[in-house]
Amino acid sequence: MEWRTSFCLGSTRIIYPVWPILTPRPFLEVKGDIVLLRQAGSRIVVTVIIAVTVLWAAAPGRVALAATLEVKAKGAILMEADTGQVLWEQNADARLYPASMTKIMTMILVLEAVEQGRLSLNDEVVASERAASFGGTQVWLEPGEKFTVEELLKAVAVGSANDASVALAEHLAGSEEAFVEKMNEKARAIGATNTHFTNSHGLHDPDLSTTPRDMAIVARYGLRFPQLLELTSMKEYTFREDPKLVLYNTNKLLWSYAGVDGIKTGTTSEAGRNLCATAKRDGLRLISVVMGSDVPKGNFSESTKVLSYGFASYEFREFFPAGAVVGEPKVDKGQVDKVPVIAERRVGAVIPKGQKEGVQLELQFPDQARAPLPAGMPLGQAVVKQGDRELDRVTLLVAEEVPKATLWQEMGKVLTSTFTISPDA
């Protein structure tokens, strides 16, 4: 089987299947600027495809802007959060010291444990003598002091507290060493393969390293936990309910840059000034990572340059929001005849503003699925492409459970089909 372009409706391209033996009889359903193509007259399972090309007027200067963007840092990257598209980079694969950006992974593992029910935000954590001994930025834990997981997370997210990081690591994994193993396992699992953690807090260790690209990958993964943004967007937090211990967020872009709502700074003499930041404007969420800046407040000034370039140069083209019904394949041997299929997250692409480019969306799911079908079961994919380059791939899920039909229900279907009288009869 092959796919061929058959029609042009304005700026919309229609792609249809050509089978070697039979000639398809496709029919179209137009929904706004999206054309849904279905295959008729065949029992063969057919993949449903939507193909849309969006055109923009040319805008000179965008490419030049990217070419001239240069930051005063050892490495940097700009990534779109939903799709993971890299929009700009500068030495993005340089191995550098993350410093306290390490704590992003620490918070991720804690929040993941909460999501999985292995931990509660209200659980009490007892500070060990080892955790209490850590200096640098801290909340001056005393051995034996008890705080909830949530309180310590806020101390980490807002005040970058090293002692709180170690206390959480020990509570979750039994020891910081065991926790670090989990940090590295998670990094590998999500694709941050050039990262090596040696502690939970980021104090300097010559073997502790990552790259701007990996930190963007870690941050993007972390954004799947809504509470990570809630924590890292807090501008201040009073620890121990002590007015003398008010923690102020180390990410100063929360005050100075519109749209910034997380996530973490990291600074040591060896690492330089680092910042992993995220900001959202007009439906476009960006992740910027700047590492190793050696100018005063360079992590903030250079991150501002990167984010400003991104928002000035790109926009998000949404085809479907998260949870939108994108199709209804038939159901074989089910209690219903059709089942809605929904997008796991929003489907779209980041497009250069004003650039004349085509973007194609393909919705791929079977024409028919056999019951039983549990809710949330993967049943296809939405693929966004630009030419031959794949921009994003989103899983399509069964929206609601479809139990298998009982024997009596199947017999009823047969009888209904057998004795249905055609209007022309």
| 42 has catalytic annotation | no
- Distances in whole angstroms, Cα of residue 396 to Cα of each of 85, 339, 375: 20, 12, 11
Measured distance CA(87)–CA(81) in Å, rounded: 11
Concatenating the DSSP letter of every residue in 155-174 gives: HHHHH--HHHHHHHHHHHHS
Measured distance CA(74)–CA(217) in Å, rounded: 18
| 422 has catalytic annotation | no
Residue 242 three-state SS:
coil
| Residue from 74, 128, 160, 200 carrying the catalytic annotation | 160
Q: How many CB atoms lie within 10 A of CB 411?
A: 11
Phi, psi of 349 (to 5 degrees): -150, 150
| Residue from 100, 165, 288, 301 carrying the catalytic annotation | 100
| Residue from 103, 154, 182, 305 carrying the catalytic annotation | 103
Phi, psi of 34 (to 5 degrees): -115, 135
Measured distance CA(176)–CA(275) in Å, rounded: 24
| 330 has catalytic annotation | no
Q: How many CB atoms lie within 10 A of CB 2?
A: 8
Q: Which residues are catalytic?
A: 100, 103, 160
